[in-house]
Amino acid sequence: MRYKRFEDLPVWNAAIDLAIATYLLTSRPEFNSRYSLRDQLERAAVSVSNNIAKDRFKFKVSSFKFS
């Protein structure tokens, strides 16, 4: 299957779900006093989908070998 937009990639949608779950987790009161940990977790979760979107056209699926 060919994907014309990175938003159609299942892995990108999974990364968005990860970011949403991370934000829900870090919005809990336990993270209020741990601002730097909360900030780091949120930035890392968002960077996953950003990196997928950025590198979408750099690789072709045919260039990967699956064992």
CA dihedral 25, 39, 50, 52 (to 10 degrees): -60
Q: Please state, in angstroms and rounded to a whole number, the distance separating the CA atoms of residues 16 and 9.
A: 11
Positions in the chain whose pLDDT score sits under 50: 63-67
pLDDT at 38: 95
pLDDT at 64: 46
- Whether the model clears a pTM of 0.85, i.e. scores above it, the answer is no
Query: Position of tokens 């979760």?
Result: 45
pLDDT at 55: 76
3-class secondary structure per residue, 5-45:
CHHHCHHHHHHHHHHHHHHHHHCCHHHCCCHHHHHHHHHHH
Q: Which amino acid belongs to residue 37?
A: L
